[in-house]
Structure formats: C-alpha cells, structure tokens
Amino acid sequence: MTMHTLSSDDFIDPAAGRRRPGRAQISGMVLLAAIACFAVFGPWLIGIDPAVQQLERYLEAPSLAHPLGLDQLGRSALARLAHAAQLSLALALISVLSAAIPGTLLGLLAAWRGGWLERVLAAIADAVLALPGLLLVLLLAAFAPGGFWPLYVGISLALWVEYFRVVRAATRILMASPHVEAARLLGFGPLHIVRRHLLPELLPRLFTLMRFGFAGAVLAMAALGFVGVGLQPPTAELGVMMIELLPYYGEAPWLIGAPVLVLFLTLLGLLLLSPETEAA
Amino acid sequence: MTFFSTPRVRPYLRRAGTALAQRLLQALLVALLVGTLCFFMTRMLPGDMAYRIAAGRYGYDMVTTAAAEAVRLELGLDRPWPAALAEWWGRLLQFDLGVSQVTAQPVAMEIAWQLGPTLNLSLLAMALSLFIGPTLGVLAGLTPGGWIDRLTLAVSTVLRALPSFLLGLVLVLVFSVKLGVLPAAGHDDHGSILLPALTLALGMAAVSCRVARDAMVGVRGSAYFAFAMTKGLNTRQALARHGLRNVAAPVVAYLGVQLVYLVEGVVLVETIFAWPGIGHALVHAIFGRDVPMIQGTALVLGLMFVLFNALVDAACAFIDPRRRP
C-alpha cells in the first residue's frame, strides 16, 4: 500500500547488490517468474475470449475445458484471471519504468547542476510527496473515471519522486568521493562518469525502489478497482473481479479465491525478494 | 517548569519553529496541489460548468439560463483560466470550499460531520497498532531466532503481502460471518468501529513489529544493556529503565512512514466498511463527479496527513533527547 515506503535515508546499503540470494529471495523469484509466465503466456495459451458470456452456464464448477469454472456471467474464469494478471503487471511495469527513467535522469541532473534547477525540482518533489500517493492517484483517476491512462499517469507521477530523491542524494555524495573527482579532473565527460562510476552504485538502490514501486502500482490498481473508482466492469482486472465475485463466495469460493491469490502471491513474491526478510 | 526555565530553551524553540514552518509549507503545498487538480477537473468535465454548478446550488428543476449566467459571472467562469485559477486558490486559502453538487450542502458542513468518524477510526487504529506491534516485536527481539520471532516474522510477512481491503474482507468473514460477534459494516455504538480499526491496525502492526524487533535486538547487544544486566537488574527492570525508550525511538520515527499507509488505508477501509468518514465521502464524490466534495475531502485528508506528521515529529523529539538541540 505504502508507495513511499523508502526515504532517501534508506539507500545506504552497500552490500545489497552483492549478497548471495537466500532461501526467501529464491522463493520470491520463483513465485514472480511463475506469475509473470502466467500473465505473459496465459491469455495466449488459454485462447478463450474473456468477454464471451454463456449465461445459461453461470457459476459452473471447474472442468477440464474451464479449469477454474465459469463466473457469474458464464465467462471463463481462468481466461479472465490471465488477462487481469497481464493487465496488472503491464500497468505496473510501464508505470515503474516511466517513473524510474525520468526520476533518475532528473536526480542526476539536479545533483550535477545544482543551483536554481535543483531547488525547483526539489520543490516539485516536495509538493508531490506532501500528499499520500494513493490520494494523488485517486485525484487523477477522478478526471476520467474508469480509464486506464489516468491510473497510469497518476501512479507514475506518484512514483518518480522517490527515484529523484534517492538518486539526487546518492549522487551528491558520490560526486564528492575521490574516484569521481579524479575522473572529472582527468577530463572524462559526464556520460562516462555516469556510466562507469555512478550507475553501478545507483542500480541496486534503483532496483529496491522499483520493487516497492511495482508492488505499489499493482496494489493501487486493484484497490481502486475493488472500491469502484478504478477500471470498470466488464474489464478483467483483479480488483474488479474480486468485488464482482464477492457475492458468490459461498457458492463458488474458488472464483473469488483465484484473483485474491494472484494478487497476494505477486505482493508476497516482491516482498520476499528483499534481503531484510532473511534477517531472522 | 524547570525545563522551560533553563537557558537551553531558546534553541529548542527555534528548532521547533523551523519544524513547524516546514509542516505549514507542506500544508500549503497540499492545498495548492489539490486545488489546482480540482480546478482543472471542473474545466475538463463534460458539459457546461455554469449549468452544472447552478444545478448543484438550486436543484435541477430551477436551472435557468439566467441562473447559469449569474453563476458564470460570480465565479468568473468566462475569464481566461490563469485568472480563474488565481481566484480559485484565493477562495481555497480563505477556506471557502464551496457547495456540494450532489447534496447542495456546504462542503465544510459535510466534512465537519465526517471528520469525527475518520479521526476516531485513525486514532484507534494507530493506538491498536502501537499496542500490538511493538509489544510482539519486543518479545520477538528478546530471543532472536526463537519461536516468537519466527512466528511473528511469518505472520508479518503474510500481513504485509495482504492489501488492507482484503485483510478487511478476511476479518469480516471470520468475525462477522463465521463467528457473528462483530458487525460487518456501518456506524453504530455496538462495536462497528472495531473491525475497520483492527484492519488498519494489523497492517501497521505487521511493520512496526519488525521495526521494534530489530531495535530490541540492537538494544540487547548494546553495552548499556549489558551493563544494566551486570549490575544486577533483571530483564524486566533493564527493559523498563534502559530498553523501552530506545526501542520506542525507531518505532515512533517509523510511524511517520506508516502515516502514508494509514491515510491511504482510511480511504479504502472506510469505503469497504461503509464507515461514514472522509475517505468514504471522497470515493463517493468521485462516483458522483462532485468536484467541490472531491476537493474538500482530499484537502482534509491531506491536511490530516500533515498534522499527524507534525505530531510524529514532536513525539520523536520528546522520546529521543539526541534529536533536541
């Protein structure tokens, strides 16, 4: 839920990238790989249109043709689940990327140039952080209720700030370090310094942020769909499916269980990837 | 009294003043951000804004061209947008939140009704989470690797991967449907606040438990704790006199991060439990495209976030003397 789980204080973790993956991290990777395969190849392998209704067969129990049965409108539950997983992961991926790339570049630029540019960017970042991320997404979603693009824009807008702040803080420290100073004095250009000296140090921190951002994006989409201000039915979306299938949990618990499980396992996989769960 | 009469009071006040100024700036940023977004929202919604606002004020049957023109003139809707935006900000800074387009009541009045339930819910959730999380965390941290530690790690990992709206659903299924001991939704005197508060509290406790556990492990390995034990205090005394304050500092500091979860969770959990607070009102205002209500509720939620943040700052300085000058 928390989109701003990390502050710029959290980035100092020199060993994060080099530690060998533990049991928790490996199970997280396996989980995520399985869900990603389901989302990428599922819709194509299943090959059933998630929108086709067979009203006379509503709530049909699982069978070989429909491994998760049919939902309240007689649509294939597995096909809908695969399309919903694909939609969630796709939204999370593109919003994380479109937050991370400009956020990182602006962070580098601010730390490099300093001066008024840095102050203006920092003020904008403060303004965005003044509001909890989900509120910002909600406000943007209100522009065009039910649309995909407001969700995407809102999530990206809420997320870029973290990359900006972390990259700016880390770059400022790195710029003062002897090896970067030596490289600058030797006359290497900014591109070389960024590639050889800054990015290797920044990447592990960026991956940590991306993991949290990915979880936040998947979560925001499902949460808004669940309370009815995100994507609208008949879209196959995890949160929308949950709220649609909730009334049938007594007759067909597997129907609502499936999207809940996919969401839970996605978030669990992302959580297990982080080294701190290995602590105990 | 003695504290305030010492010569150390002046830098302390100056620091508190700076912190307060930063939070006031944050509050101003919240207002400008929410106000600007809502301003453009009104302009981008389909239909003629003047007619829509007139309908909200006078009822759909009473909208005439004259009424719409009067609204247009009064609100400056015919003027170019920079001037209108400046005026919109001006009204917002005077706390003029306008009139709900759905209920035709002043937004401020609606929010005055909803603020109480929201504050009750969030404060109870925070109190419950601080009771559950750090208590278990300290117990876990006393014996790292013990069964309490492993159990709380497992439960906290599961809870952190379970979004608040699903956790709420699980609690309703267990406590209302299966056991029938607590009401599933609504707002009355018979414990209906417990399930939504517990939903938020468990989500927050899942994290604060681990924070407290790590802090406790740190305290346990520290020289001052070893000395307290060596000089003959038992674990309980050493904890009470030397341990708890050091565990409390990171827990309270982390509360600042968790406020994001709390405010976001309030919106979702209020909606699911039909709790008549501001988050619930925000979601319903979005359904109804009621921009003045969207603006008012988002603004108050944002300001609540700023206020809680300021309180956490103050609590941090109170607990940890190293953060005082």
Interface A–B counts its CB contacts (< 8 A) at 132
A127 near B CB under 8 A: yes
Nearest-Cα distance to chain B for A276, in Å, is 10
Q: Which of B25, B166, B262, B270 to mutate to test the interface with A (most CBs of A within 10 A)?
A: B166
pLDDT in tens, A252-276: 888 888 899 999 999 999 988 876 5
**End-to-end CA gap in chain A:** 24
- B23 versus A280: the higher-pLDDT residue is B23
Q: Report CB contact under 8 Å: B30, A130.
A: yes
What is the per-residue pLDDT across A204-220, written as a single tens digit (0 to 9) for each? 889 889 998 999 999 99
Is A140's Cβ below 8 Å from some Cβ in B? yes
Scan residues 180-209 of B and list those with Cβ closer than 8 Å to A.
Answer: 203
**What are A6-61's pLDDT values in tens digits?**
444 444 444 444 556 778 888 889 999 999 999 888 888 887 778 777 777 777 77
- Please give, rounded to a whole number of angstroms, the shortest distance from the CA of A69 to a CA of chain B: 23
**Tokens at residue B277, please?**
């607070």
Question: How much is the pLDDT for A8?
Answer: 41
A227 → closest Cβ in B283, B298, B302:
B283
Least confident of A145-149, A150-154, B115-119, B135-139: A145-149
The CA-based dihedral angle spanning residues B135, B140, B143, B144, taken in that order and rounded to the nearest 10 degrees: -140
CB < 8 Å from A in window 150-179 of B: 150, 153, 157-158, 160-166, 169, 173
> Which of A18-27, A116-125, A127-136, B222-231 has the weakest average pLDDT?
A18-27
| Closest residue to A135, CB basis, from B162, B302, B306 | B302
| Mean per-residue pLDDT, A99-106 | 94
Q: Is the pLDDT of residue B154 over 70?
A: yes
Q: A31: which 2 tokens?
A: 């989980």
Residue-wise pLDDT tens digits, B159-183: 988 999 999 988 888 888 778 777 7
Residue-level pLDDT at A161: 92
What's the residue count for chain B? 325
CB–CB of A131 and B145 under 8 A?
no
Q: How far off is chain B from A105, nearest CA to CA, in Å?
A: 24
By CB neighbour count within 10 A (0-12 exposed, 13-18 middle, 19+ buried), where does A32 fall? Answer: buried
pLDDT of residue B93: 81
Of all residues in chain B, the percent with pLDDT exceeding 90 is 22
Q: What is the pLDDT of residues B117-137, one digit of tens each?
A: 999 999 999 999 999 999 999
User: Quick one: average pLDDT of B260-279?
Assistant: 90
Query: What chain A residue is nearest to B144 in terms of C-alpha separation?
Result: A280
Contact A227, B165 (CB under 8 A): yes
Question: Helix (H) and strand (E) counts for chain B?
Answer: 14, 0
Question: Is the CB of residue A170 less than 8 Å from the CB of residue A199?
Answer: no
Model pTM above 0.90: no
Average predicted confidence (pLDDT) for chain B: 84
Q: Which pLDDT band, with edges at 50, 70 and 90, does B13 fall under?
A: confident
Question: Taking CB atoms and an 8 Å limit, are B263 and A132 in contact across chains?
Answer: yes
User: B291-319 pLDDT, tens per residue?
Assistant: 888 889 999 999 999 999 888 888 888 88
pLDDT at B7: 55
A132 touches chain B (CB under 8 A): yes
pLDDT digits (tens, 9 = 90+) for B37-82: 888 887 777 667 777 777 767 776 777 788 778 877 776 677 777 8
| B77 contacts chain A (CB < 8 A) | no
**A141: nearest CA in chain B?**
B286
Write down all domains in chain A, each with its CATH number in brackets: 23-44+78-279 (1.10.3720.10)
How far CA B240 is from CA of A119, B132, B209, B225, B296, in Å, comes to 45, 18, 18, 11, 45
Say which of B25, B33, B261 has its CB closest to residue A131. B33
> How far off is chain B from A262, nearest CA to CA, in Å?
11
Confidence at residue A85, expressed as pLDDT on a 0 to 100 scale: 93
pLDDT at B118: 92
B19 neighbors B302 (Cβ within 8 angstroms): no
User: What is the per-residue pLDDT for B287?
Assistant: 82
Q: Within 10 Å of residue B298's Cβ, how many Cβ atoms?
A: 28
